[in-house]
Structure 1
Amino acid sequence: MDQLPLFVNLRGKNVVLAGTGDAADAKRRLIERAGGICVDDCPNAICRCAKIAFVAIDDDEQAVQAAQRLRAKGMIVNVVDKPDLCDFTTPAIIDRTPVLIAVGTGGASAGMAKAIRQKLEALLPSRLGRLADNIQSARDAIKRRWPGAPERRRALDQAFQPGGALDPFAEQDEAAVATWLDRDDSPAQNGLAQITLLSNDPDDLTLRTARLLGEADYIFYEAGVAPGILQRARADAVRQAGAPPAKLPNGLSLFLTLKI
Protein backbone atom coordinates (compact mmCIF):
# COMPACT_ATOMS: atom_id res chain seq x y z
CA MET A 1 0.00 0.00 0.00
CA ASP A 2 1.63 3.22 -1.18
CA GLN A 3 -0.92 5.58 0.37
CA LEU A 4 -3.08 5.56 3.51
CA PRO A 5 -6.74 6.21 2.66
CA LEU A 6 -8.34 8.70 5.04
CA PHE A 7 -11.74 10.36 5.22
CA VAL A 8 -11.26 13.97 6.34
CA ASN A 9 -14.06 16.01 7.91
CA LEU A 10 -14.01 19.36 6.06
CA ARG A 11 -17.39 20.64 7.19
CA GLY A 12 -17.06 24.27 8.22
CA LYS A 13 -13.28 24.23 7.71
CA ASN A 14 -11.19 26.45 5.44
CA VAL A 15 -9.54 24.86 2.40
CA VAL A 16 -7.17 26.85 0.20
CA LEU A 17 -7.83 26.72 -3.53
CA ALA A 18 -5.14 28.22 -5.73
CA GLY A 19 -5.83 28.67 -9.44
CA THR A 20 -8.65 29.34 -11.86
CA GLY A 21 -10.34 27.55 -14.73
CA ASP A 22 -12.22 24.27 -15.15
CA ALA A 23 -9.91 22.22 -12.93
CA ALA A 24 -10.16 24.76 -10.11
CA ASP A 25 -13.96 24.88 -10.50
CA ALA A 26 -14.13 21.09 -10.22
CA LYS A 27 -12.10 21.13 -7.00
CA ARG A 28 -14.27 23.95 -5.63
CA ARG A 29 -17.38 21.86 -6.20
CA LEU A 30 -15.75 18.88 -4.49
CA ILE A 31 -14.69 20.94 -1.46
CA GLU A 32 -18.08 22.59 -1.08
CA ARG A 33 -19.87 19.26 -1.54
CA ALA A 34 -17.93 18.04 1.51
CA GLY A 35 -18.93 21.14 3.48
CA GLY A 36 -15.58 22.90 3.22
CA ILE A 37 -15.09 26.64 2.76
CA CYS A 38 -12.88 27.65 -0.16
CA VAL A 39 -10.43 30.46 0.57
CA ASP A 40 -7.90 32.11 -1.72
CA ASP A 41 -4.16 31.56 -1.56
CA CYS A 42 -3.22 34.72 0.33
CA PRO A 43 -1.18 35.64 3.43
CA ASN A 44 -4.05 36.81 5.62
CA ALA A 45 -5.25 35.19 8.85
CA ILE A 46 -8.13 33.19 7.37
CA CYS A 47 -5.74 31.49 4.99
CA ARG A 48 -3.39 30.50 7.80
CA CYS A 49 -6.24 28.62 9.51
CA ALA A 50 -6.42 26.19 6.60
CA LYS A 51 -4.65 22.82 6.79
CA ILE A 52 -5.40 21.51 3.28
CA ALA A 53 -4.74 23.15 -0.07
CA PHE A 54 -5.49 22.41 -3.71
CA VAL A 55 -3.43 23.88 -6.53
CA ALA A 56 -5.07 23.98 -9.96
CA ILE A 57 -2.49 25.84 -12.05
CA ASP A 58 -1.51 24.63 -15.54
CA ASP A 59 1.94 26.24 -15.62
CA ASP A 60 4.39 23.77 -14.05
CA GLU A 61 6.70 26.37 -12.55
CA GLN A 62 3.87 28.37 -11.03
CA ALA A 63 2.28 25.19 -9.66
CA VAL A 64 5.55 24.17 -7.99
CA GLN A 65 5.96 27.62 -6.46
CA ALA A 66 2.40 27.64 -5.14
CA ALA A 67 2.77 24.16 -3.66
CA GLN A 68 6.03 25.10 -1.94
CA ARG A 69 4.53 28.31 -0.56
CA LEU A 70 1.51 26.49 0.86
CA ARG A 71 3.60 23.70 2.39
CA ALA A 72 5.70 26.36 4.10
CA LYS A 73 2.48 27.47 5.82
CA GLY A 74 2.06 23.95 7.23
CA MET A 75 -0.54 22.68 4.76
CA ILE A 76 -0.76 19.39 2.92
CA VAL A 77 -1.14 20.00 -0.79
CA ASN A 78 -2.80 18.42 -3.81
CA VAL A 79 -1.61 19.65 -7.22
CA VAL A 80 -4.13 18.80 -9.92
CA ASP A 81 -2.81 16.39 -12.59
CA LYS A 82 0.70 16.44 -11.08
CA PRO A 83 0.88 13.43 -8.74
CA ASP A 84 4.62 13.83 -8.13
CA LEU A 85 3.89 17.18 -6.46
CA CYS A 86 1.02 15.86 -4.30
CA ASP A 87 0.98 15.11 -0.58
CA PHE A 88 -2.38 13.43 -1.18
CA THR A 89 -4.58 12.53 -4.13
CA THR A 90 -8.35 12.73 -4.50
CA PRO A 91 -10.15 9.51 -5.40
CA ALA A 92 -13.18 8.75 -7.47
CA ILE A 93 -16.07 8.77 -5.00
CA ILE A 94 -19.18 6.64 -4.63
CA ASP A 95 -21.56 8.60 -2.42
CA ARG A 96 -24.22 6.77 -0.45
CA THR A 97 -23.95 9.12 2.53
CA PRO A 98 -22.98 8.23 5.18
CA VAL A 99 -21.39 5.40 3.23
CA LEU A 100 -18.52 6.62 1.06
CA ILE A 101 -16.35 4.46 -1.16
CA ALA A 102 -13.15 5.94 -2.55
CA VAL A 103 -11.28 4.49 -5.51
CA GLY A 104 -7.72 5.74 -5.94
CA THR A 105 -4.84 4.88 -8.23
CA GLY A 106 -2.19 7.04 -6.58
CA GLY A 107 -2.55 9.54 -9.38
CA ALA A 108 -1.74 6.96 -12.07
CA SER A 109 -5.04 7.26 -13.93
CA ALA A 110 -8.17 9.17 -13.04
CA GLY A 111 -9.87 7.37 -15.94
CA MET A 112 -9.19 3.97 -14.40
CA ALA A 113 -10.55 5.11 -11.04
CA LYS A 114 -13.69 6.42 -12.78
CA ALA A 115 -14.23 3.14 -14.64
CA ILE A 116 -13.99 1.18 -11.38
CA ARG A 117 -16.33 3.63 -9.66
CA GLN A 118 -18.93 3.27 -12.39
CA LYS A 119 -18.84 -0.50 -12.08
CA LEU A 120 -19.28 -0.35 -8.31
CA GLU A 121 -22.07 2.22 -8.61
CA ALA A 122 -24.14 -0.35 -10.45
CA LEU A 123 -23.64 -2.91 -7.66
CA LEU A 124 -24.63 -0.76 -4.69
CA PRO A 125 -28.29 -0.21 -3.80
CA SER A 126 -29.50 3.38 -3.66
CA ARG A 127 -30.76 2.86 -0.07
CA LEU A 128 -27.38 1.73 1.25
CA GLY A 129 -26.88 5.02 3.09
CA ARG A 130 -30.27 4.71 4.76
CA LEU A 131 -29.34 1.23 5.99
CA ALA A 132 -26.17 2.68 7.54
CA ASP A 133 -28.22 5.45 9.20
CA ASN A 134 -30.59 2.87 10.69
CA ILE A 135 -27.67 0.83 12.05
CA GLN A 136 -26.24 4.00 13.59
CA SER A 137 -29.58 4.79 15.23
CA ALA A 138 -29.75 1.25 16.62
CA ARG A 139 -26.26 1.26 18.18
CA ASP A 140 -27.57 1.26 21.76
CA ALA A 141 -30.03 -1.55 21.01
CA ILE A 142 -27.27 -3.57 19.32
CA LYS A 143 -25.02 -3.13 22.38
CA ARG A 144 -27.80 -4.28 24.67
CA ARG A 145 -28.41 -7.36 22.54
CA TRP A 146 -24.70 -8.23 22.32
CA PRO A 147 -22.88 -6.54 25.25
CA GLY A 148 -19.44 -7.98 24.41
CA ALA A 149 -17.53 -6.31 21.58
CA PRO A 150 -16.29 -9.57 19.95
CA GLU A 151 -19.78 -11.10 20.06
CA ARG A 152 -21.30 -7.91 18.69
CA ARG A 153 -18.80 -7.73 15.84
CA ARG A 154 -19.45 -11.36 14.88
CA ALA A 155 -23.21 -10.75 14.92
CA LEU A 156 -22.76 -7.86 12.52
CA ASP A 157 -20.33 -9.84 10.35
CA GLN A 158 -22.91 -12.59 10.08
CA ALA A 159 -25.68 -10.13 9.22
CA PHE A 160 -23.60 -8.43 6.52
CA GLN A 161 -22.72 -11.67 4.72
CA PRO A 162 -24.24 -12.30 1.26
CA GLY A 163 -27.85 -13.26 1.86
CA GLY A 164 -27.61 -12.12 5.49
CA ALA A 165 -30.21 -10.05 7.30
CA LEU A 166 -28.32 -6.82 6.56
CA ASP A 167 -26.60 -7.76 3.29
CA PRO A 168 -25.45 -4.31 2.05
CA PHE A 169 -25.70 -5.41 -1.60
CA ALA A 170 -29.39 -6.26 -1.26
CA GLU A 171 -32.26 -3.79 -1.19
CA GLN A 172 -33.21 -3.52 2.49
CA ASP A 173 -36.49 -2.11 3.72
CA GLU A 174 -36.86 0.38 6.56
CA ALA A 175 -37.55 -2.38 9.12
CA ALA A 176 -34.49 -4.52 8.25
CA VAL A 177 -32.44 -3.58 11.33
CA ALA A 178 -35.35 -3.96 13.76
CA THR A 179 -36.27 -7.32 12.24
CA TRP A 180 -32.67 -8.51 12.56
CA LEU A 181 -32.52 -7.47 16.23
CA ASP A 182 -35.69 -9.46 16.97
CA ARG A 183 -34.30 -12.68 15.50
CA ASP A 184 -33.16 -15.48 17.83
CA ASP A 185 -30.08 -16.63 15.93
CA SER A 186 -26.73 -15.58 17.43
CA PRO A 187 -23.19 -16.11 16.20
CA ALA A 188 -20.88 -18.62 17.84
CA GLN A 189 -19.02 -17.21 20.84
CA ASN A 190 -15.73 -19.07 20.43
CA GLY A 191 -14.08 -21.65 18.28
CA LEU A 192 -11.18 -22.61 16.07
CA ALA A 193 -11.21 -22.90 12.32
CA GLN A 194 -8.26 -24.52 10.54
CA ILE A 195 -7.48 -23.66 6.94
CA THR A 196 -4.90 -25.43 4.77
CA LEU A 197 -3.63 -23.06 2.11
CA LEU A 198 -2.65 -24.52 -1.24
CA SER A 199 -0.97 -21.32 -2.39
CA ASN A 200 0.61 -18.20 -0.96
CA ASP A 201 -1.11 -16.05 -3.56
CA PRO A 202 -3.88 -13.95 -1.91
CA ASP A 203 -5.84 -14.13 -5.17
CA ASP A 204 -6.21 -17.89 -4.65
CA LEU A 205 -8.06 -17.55 -1.33
CA THR A 206 -11.47 -19.17 -1.27
CA LEU A 207 -14.45 -17.08 -0.31
CA ARG A 208 -14.69 -18.98 2.98
CA THR A 209 -11.05 -18.34 3.85
CA ALA A 210 -11.34 -14.67 2.96
CA ARG A 211 -14.44 -14.41 5.14
CA LEU A 212 -12.77 -16.12 8.10
CA LEU A 213 -9.72 -13.88 7.78
CA GLY A 214 -12.04 -10.91 7.99
CA GLU A 215 -13.87 -12.25 11.05
CA ALA A 216 -11.21 -13.96 13.21
CA ASP A 217 -10.02 -12.33 16.44
CA TYR A 218 -6.80 -14.39 16.53
CA ILE A 219 -4.72 -15.60 13.58
CA PHE A 220 -2.26 -18.44 14.23
CA TYR A 221 -0.09 -19.48 11.31
CA GLU A 222 2.67 -21.86 10.30
CA ALA A 223 6.06 -20.67 9.12
CA GLY A 224 5.97 -20.03 5.40
CA VAL A 225 2.54 -18.41 5.26
CA ALA A 226 3.11 -15.27 3.19
CA PRO A 227 2.64 -11.79 4.67
CA GLY A 228 0.25 -11.04 1.80
CA ILE A 229 -2.14 -13.66 3.18
CA LEU A 230 -1.97 -12.21 6.70
CA GLN A 231 -2.67 -8.74 5.35
CA ARG A 232 -6.13 -9.95 4.37
CA ALA A 233 -7.00 -10.39 8.06
CA ARG A 234 -8.72 -7.73 10.13
CA ALA A 235 -6.31 -4.96 11.05
CA ASP A 236 -6.98 -5.42 14.77
CA ALA A 237 -6.75 -9.22 14.76
CA VAL A 238 -3.95 -10.66 16.91
CA ARG A 239 -1.36 -12.49 14.79
CA GLN A 240 0.87 -15.18 16.27
CA ALA A 241 3.29 -17.57 14.58
CA GLY A 242 2.84 -21.21 15.49
CA ALA A 243 -0.02 -23.51 16.44
CA PRO A 244 -2.84 -22.24 18.66
CA PRO A 245 -2.57 -22.97 22.40
CA ALA A 246 -4.47 -25.80 24.04
CA LYS A 247 -6.67 -23.26 25.79
CA LEU A 248 -8.02 -20.99 23.11
CA PRO A 249 -8.46 -17.27 23.78
CA ASN A 250 -11.99 -15.94 23.94
CA GLY A 251 -13.20 -15.24 20.43
CA LEU A 252 -12.83 -16.78 17.00
CA SER A 253 -9.40 -18.25 16.23
CA LEU A 254 -8.04 -19.20 12.82
CA PHE A 255 -5.07 -21.55 12.21
CA LEU A 256 -3.43 -21.26 8.81
CA THR A 257 -1.30 -24.13 7.55
CA LEU A 258 0.46 -24.32 4.22
CA LYS A 259 0.55 -27.23 1.79
CA ILE A 260 2.45 -26.54 -1.44
Structure 2
Amino acid sequence: MHSLPVFLRLAGRPVILTGEGEAAEAKRRLLERAGARIVDEADQDACVAIVSDGDEATAKTLRARGILVNATDNPDLCDFTLPAIVDRDPVLIAIGTGGASAGLAKALRQRLEALLPAGMGALARTLFDARSAIRARWPDASDRRRAIDAGLSPGGSIDPLAEGSADRLEGWLAGPDRTHLSRLETIRLSSRDPDELTLRAARLLGEADRVYYHADVPGEILDRARADAARIRAPHPPGEPEQGLSLWLVMAD
Protein backbone atom coordinates (compact mmCIF):
# COMPACT_ATOMS: atom_id res chain seq x y z
CA MET A 1 0.00 0.00 0.00
CA HIS A 2 1.72 3.15 -1.21
CA SER A 3 -0.22 5.57 1.01
CA LEU A 4 -2.77 5.63 3.82
CA PRO A 5 -6.29 6.63 2.72
CA VAL A 6 -7.83 9.15 5.13
CA PHE A 7 -10.84 11.46 5.18
CA LEU A 8 -9.97 14.99 6.36
CA ARG A 9 -12.57 17.14 8.11
CA LEU A 10 -11.88 20.57 6.64
CA ALA A 11 -15.05 22.47 7.60
CA GLY A 12 -14.01 25.95 8.73
CA ARG A 13 -10.30 25.15 8.52
CA PRO A 14 -7.83 27.12 6.35
CA VAL A 15 -6.48 25.44 3.22
CA ILE A 16 -3.99 27.16 0.93
CA LEU A 17 -4.89 27.14 -2.77
CA THR A 18 -2.43 28.49 -5.34
CA GLY A 19 -2.54 28.77 -9.12
CA GLU A 20 -5.11 30.08 -11.56
CA GLY A 21 -7.37 28.89 -14.32
CA GLU A 22 -9.66 25.89 -14.74
CA ALA A 23 -7.58 23.53 -12.58
CA ALA A 24 -7.59 25.99 -9.68
CA GLU A 25 -11.34 26.55 -9.98
CA ALA A 26 -11.98 22.80 -9.93
CA LYS A 27 -9.95 22.46 -6.73
CA ARG A 28 -11.73 25.50 -5.26
CA ARG A 29 -15.12 23.91 -5.86
CA LEU A 30 -13.96 20.68 -4.24
CA LEU A 31 -12.64 22.49 -1.16
CA GLU A 32 -15.82 24.54 -0.87
CA ARG A 33 -17.91 21.35 -0.95
CA ALA A 34 -15.85 20.13 2.01
CA GLY A 35 -16.44 23.41 3.87
CA ALA A 36 -12.81 24.52 3.85
CA ARG A 37 -11.80 28.17 4.27
CA ILE A 38 -9.61 28.93 1.26
CA VAL A 39 -6.58 31.14 1.98
CA ASP A 40 -3.35 32.24 0.27
CA GLU A 41 0.26 31.35 0.99
CA ALA A 42 0.62 34.02 3.66
CA ASP A 43 -1.74 32.25 6.05
CA GLN A 44 0.25 30.86 8.98
CA ASP A 45 -2.48 28.60 10.37
CA ALA A 46 -2.95 26.39 7.31
CA CYS A 47 -1.47 22.91 7.41
CA VAL A 48 -2.78 21.70 4.04
CA ALA A 49 -2.14 23.20 0.60
CA ILE A 50 -3.09 22.50 -3.00
CA VAL A 51 -0.75 23.83 -5.67
CA SER A 52 -3.13 23.61 -8.61
CA ASP A 53 -0.53 24.43 -11.27
CA GLY A 54 2.04 22.01 -9.83
CA ASP A 55 4.63 24.79 -9.47
CA GLU A 56 7.77 23.19 -8.05
CA ALA A 57 9.11 26.23 -6.21
CA THR A 58 5.79 26.93 -4.50
CA ALA A 59 5.35 23.30 -3.49
CA LYS A 60 8.86 23.10 -2.03
CA THR A 61 8.44 26.35 -0.10
CA LEU A 62 5.18 25.18 1.45
CA ARG A 63 6.58 21.77 2.31
CA ALA A 64 9.54 23.41 4.02
CA ARG A 65 7.01 25.07 6.33
CA GLY A 66 5.68 21.64 7.35
CA ILE A 67 2.53 21.98 5.26
CA LEU A 68 1.09 18.88 3.57
CA VAL A 69 1.04 19.60 -0.15
CA ASN A 70 -0.76 18.32 -3.22
CA ALA A 71 0.99 19.54 -6.37
CA THR A 72 -1.11 18.84 -9.45
CA ASP A 73 0.63 16.59 -12.04
CA ASN A 74 3.79 16.54 -9.92
CA PRO A 75 3.55 13.34 -7.83
CA ASP A 76 7.11 13.56 -6.51
CA LEU A 77 6.12 16.74 -4.64
CA CYS A 78 2.82 15.42 -3.31
CA ASP A 79 2.35 14.52 0.34
CA PHE A 80 -1.20 13.47 -0.54
CA THR A 81 -3.25 12.93 -3.67
CA LEU A 82 -6.84 13.89 -4.40
CA PRO A 83 -8.95 10.86 -5.28
CA ALA A 84 -11.90 10.49 -7.59
CA ILE A 85 -14.96 10.65 -5.33
CA VAL A 86 -18.30 8.85 -5.33
CA ASP A 87 -20.52 10.98 -3.11
CA ARG A 88 -23.53 9.38 -1.45
CA ASP A 89 -23.39 11.65 1.58
CA PRO A 90 -22.58 10.59 4.26
CA VAL A 91 -21.11 7.63 2.35
CA LEU A 92 -17.95 8.62 0.50
CA ILE A 93 -15.91 6.31 -1.73
CA ALA A 94 -12.46 7.57 -2.71
CA ILE A 95 -10.53 6.03 -5.60
CA GLY A 96 -6.85 6.78 -5.88
CA THR A 97 -3.99 5.57 -8.06
CA GLY A 98 -1.16 7.36 -6.23
CA GLY A 99 -0.96 9.83 -9.10
CA ALA A 100 -0.39 7.10 -11.67
CA SER A 101 -3.53 7.78 -13.70
CA ALA A 102 -6.31 10.25 -12.96
CA GLY A 103 -8.10 8.86 -16.01
CA LEU A 104 -8.25 5.37 -14.53
CA ALA A 105 -9.58 6.72 -11.22
CA LYS A 106 -12.24 8.66 -13.13
CA ALA A 107 -13.28 5.60 -15.14
CA LEU A 108 -13.64 3.52 -11.96
CA ARG A 109 -15.66 6.32 -10.32
CA GLN A 110 -18.06 6.38 -13.27
CA ARG A 111 -18.55 2.62 -13.04
CA LEU A 112 -19.27 2.80 -9.32
CA GLU A 113 -21.61 5.78 -9.79
CA ALA A 114 -23.75 3.58 -12.02
CA LEU A 115 -23.74 0.70 -9.52
CA LEU A 116 -24.51 2.50 -6.26
CA PRO A 117 -28.09 3.63 -5.63
CA ALA A 118 -28.68 7.29 -4.87
CA GLY A 119 -30.45 6.20 -1.65
CA MET A 120 -27.33 4.67 -0.11
CA GLY A 121 -26.78 7.83 1.93
CA ALA A 122 -30.30 7.54 3.32
CA LEU A 123 -29.53 3.99 4.47
CA ALA A 124 -26.40 5.20 6.29
CA ARG A 125 -28.38 7.93 8.07
CA THR A 126 -31.15 5.50 8.97
CA LEU A 127 -28.66 3.03 10.43
CA PHE A 128 -27.10 5.84 12.46
CA ASP A 129 -30.49 6.92 13.83
CA ALA A 130 -31.33 3.30 14.68
CA ARG A 131 -28.18 2.58 16.70
CA SER A 132 -30.01 2.46 20.02
CA ALA A 133 -32.70 0.18 18.64
CA ILE A 134 -30.09 -2.11 17.07
CA ARG A 135 -28.18 -2.37 20.36
CA ALA A 136 -31.42 -3.10 22.22
CA ARG A 137 -32.31 -5.89 19.76
CA TRP A 138 -28.82 -7.42 19.81
CA PRO A 139 -27.06 -6.45 23.09
CA ASP A 140 -24.11 -8.76 22.41
CA ALA A 141 -21.58 -7.12 20.08
CA SER A 142 -20.89 -10.35 18.15
CA ASP A 143 -24.59 -11.02 17.63
CA ARG A 144 -25.06 -7.43 16.55
CA ARG A 145 -22.26 -7.64 13.98
CA ARG A 146 -23.62 -10.90 12.56
CA ALA A 147 -27.11 -9.44 12.30
CA ILE A 148 -25.86 -6.33 10.51
CA ASP A 149 -23.66 -8.41 8.18
CA ALA A 150 -26.62 -10.61 7.29
CA GLY A 151 -28.91 -7.64 6.72
CA LEU A 152 -26.40 -5.87 4.48
CA SER A 153 -25.37 -8.98 2.53
CA PRO A 154 -26.42 -9.43 -1.12
CA GLY A 155 -30.15 -10.07 -1.10
CA GLY A 156 -30.39 -9.18 2.61
CA SER A 157 -33.21 -7.13 4.07
CA ILE A 158 -31.16 -3.92 3.91
CA ASP A 159 -28.87 -4.77 0.98
CA PRO A 160 -27.14 -1.42 0.28
CA LEU A 161 -27.18 -2.05 -3.49
CA ALA A 162 -30.96 -2.45 -3.54
CA GLU A 163 -33.24 0.54 -4.02
CA GLY A 164 -35.32 1.50 -1.00
CA SER A 165 -33.20 -0.39 1.53
CA ALA A 166 -33.56 2.42 4.09
CA ASP A 167 -37.33 1.92 4.04
CA ARG A 168 -36.90 -1.74 5.01
CA LEU A 169 -34.79 -1.17 8.11
CA GLU A 170 -37.74 -1.21 10.49
CA GLY A 171 -38.87 -4.55 9.09
CA TRP A 172 -35.35 -5.92 9.43
CA LEU A 173 -35.27 -4.92 13.10
CA ALA A 174 -38.56 -6.67 13.73
CA GLY A 175 -37.71 -9.76 11.67
CA PRO A 176 -36.50 -13.20 12.82
CA ASP A 177 -33.21 -13.45 14.71
CA ARG A 178 -30.77 -15.81 12.98
CA THR A 179 -27.61 -14.71 14.79
CA HIS A 180 -27.26 -17.91 16.82
CA LEU A 181 -27.23 -20.23 13.80
CA SER A 182 -24.03 -22.14 13.05
CA ARG A 183 -22.72 -22.23 9.51
CA LEU A 184 -19.60 -23.75 7.98
CA GLU A 185 -18.43 -22.81 4.48
CA THR A 186 -15.54 -24.44 2.62
CA ILE A 187 -13.30 -22.37 0.37
CA ARG A 188 -11.01 -24.29 -1.95
CA LEU A 189 -8.30 -21.92 -3.09
CA SER A 190 -7.06 -22.32 -6.66
CA SER A 191 -4.27 -19.76 -6.22
CA ARG A 192 -1.96 -18.52 -3.48
CA ASP A 193 -2.43 -14.95 -4.74
CA PRO A 194 -4.99 -13.03 -2.62
CA ASP A 195 -5.83 -10.84 -5.62
CA GLU A 196 -7.23 -13.93 -7.33
CA LEU A 197 -9.83 -14.66 -4.65
CA THR A 198 -13.33 -15.03 -6.02
CA LEU A 199 -15.89 -12.41 -5.03
CA ARG A 200 -17.66 -15.05 -2.92
CA ALA A 201 -14.45 -16.01 -1.09
CA ALA A 202 -13.55 -12.37 -0.43
CA ARG A 203 -17.03 -11.67 0.92
CA LEU A 204 -17.01 -14.71 3.22
CA LEU A 205 -13.57 -13.81 4.57
CA GLY A 206 -14.90 -10.37 5.41
CA GLU A 207 -17.86 -11.84 7.31
CA ALA A 208 -16.47 -14.92 9.07
CA ASP A 209 -16.28 -15.18 12.85
CA ARG A 210 -13.50 -17.76 12.67
CA VAL A 211 -11.27 -19.14 9.93
CA TYR A 212 -10.02 -22.72 10.09
CA TYR A 213 -7.19 -23.26 7.63
CA HIS A 214 -4.88 -25.99 6.42
CA ALA A 215 -1.14 -25.51 6.97
CA ASP A 216 -0.48 -24.79 3.27
CA VAL A 217 -2.81 -21.78 3.11
CA PRO A 218 -0.61 -18.65 2.73
CA GLY A 219 -0.72 -15.86 5.27
CA GLU A 220 -1.54 -13.33 2.56
CA ILE A 221 -4.91 -15.05 2.12
CA LEU A 222 -5.57 -15.06 5.86
CA ASP A 223 -4.83 -11.33 5.95
CA ARG A 224 -7.99 -10.78 3.91
CA ALA A 225 -10.14 -12.06 6.79
CA ARG A 226 -11.72 -9.69 9.29
CA ALA A 227 -9.12 -8.35 11.71
CA ASP A 228 -11.00 -9.73 14.73
CA ALA A 229 -11.83 -13.11 13.22
CA ALA A 230 -10.25 -16.09 15.02
CA ARG A 231 -7.63 -17.90 12.92
CA ILE A 232 -7.29 -21.60 13.72
CA ARG A 233 -4.74 -23.85 12.03
CA ALA A 234 -6.14 -27.36 11.74
CA PRO A 235 -5.58 -30.58 9.73
CA HIS A 236 -9.29 -30.83 8.89
CA PRO A 237 -12.49 -28.80 9.21
CA PRO A 238 -14.33 -28.70 12.56
CA GLY A 239 -16.96 -31.34 13.15
CA GLU A 240 -19.31 -29.02 15.01
CA PRO A 241 -18.58 -25.33 14.34
CA GLU A 242 -19.48 -22.73 16.90
CA GLN A 243 -22.31 -20.27 16.33
CA GLY A 244 -21.89 -17.78 13.56
CA LEU A 245 -19.98 -18.22 10.31
CA SER A 246 -16.92 -20.49 10.23
CA LEU A 247 -14.73 -21.05 7.17
CA TRP A 248 -12.54 -23.97 6.19
CA LEU A 249 -9.72 -22.84 3.89
CA VAL A 250 -7.76 -25.41 1.94
CA MET A 251 -5.72 -25.34 -1.26
CA ALA A 252 -7.40 -27.10 -4.15
CA ASP A 253 -5.69 -30.26 -5.40
If the length of structure 2 is used for normalisation, what is the TM-score? 0.88
Secondary structure in 2 aligned to 1:15? strand
Runs of 4 or more consecutive aligned structure 1 residues displaced over 6 Å after TM superposition: 244-250
1:106-255 → structure 2 map (5 Å cutoff)? 106-172=98-164, 174-188=166-180, 192-239=184-231, 241-242=233-234, 252-255=245-248
Of residues 239-248 and 27-36 in structure 1, the stretch that sits farther from structure 2 once superposed is 239-248
Distance 1:118 1:84, change over 3 A: same
Q: Which residues of structure 2 form unaligned runs of 5+?
A: none
- 1:46-77 CA-to-partner distances (Å, cap 9, x unmatched) read x232221111235xxxx222222222222211
- Counterpart of 1:91 in structure 2 is 83
When residues 108 and 252 of structure 1 are mapped into structure 2, their CA distance, relative to the original with a 3 A threshold, is: same
Compare 147-156 and 90-99 and name the one that shifted more: 147-156
Q: What secondary structure is seen at the aligned counterpart in 2 of 1:48?
A: coil
CA distance in 1, matches of 2:118, 2:89: 10
- Give me the CA root mean square deviation: 2.4
Question: In structure 1, what is the equivalent of residue 250 of structure 2?
Answer: 257
The 8 Å contact of residues 48 and 73 in structure 1, kept in 2 or not, is answered as no
The Cα shift of 1:239 comes to: 3.9
Aligned to 1:3: 3
Which deviations, in whole Å up to 9, do the C-alpha atoms of 1:103-143 show, x marking residues without a partner? Answer: 11111111111111111111111111111111110011011
User: CA 1:67–1:247 in structure 2 vs 1: closer, same or farther (change >3 Å)?
Assistant: farther
Structure 1 stretches of 5 or more lacking a match?
Answer: none
**How much has 1:251 moved relative to structure 2?**
5.5
Q: CA deviation at 1:170?
A: 0.8
CA distance in 2, matches of 1:222, 1:68: 52
- Cα shift at 1:35: 1.0
Percent of residue pairs bearing the same amino acid type: 53
How many positions carry a matched residue from both structures?
252
Cα 1:40–1:237 shift into 2, 3 Å: farther
8 Å contact 2:179–2:244 — kept in the other structure? no
* Shift in CA distance, 250/76, structure 1 to aligned 2, threshold 3 Å: farther
Give the corresponding residue for 1:22.
22
Residue 60 of structure 2 contacts residue 77 of structure 2 at CA under 8 Å; is this kept in 1?
no
3-state DSSP of counterpart to 1:255? strand
Q: 1:70 to 1:250 in 2, by over 3 A?
A: farther
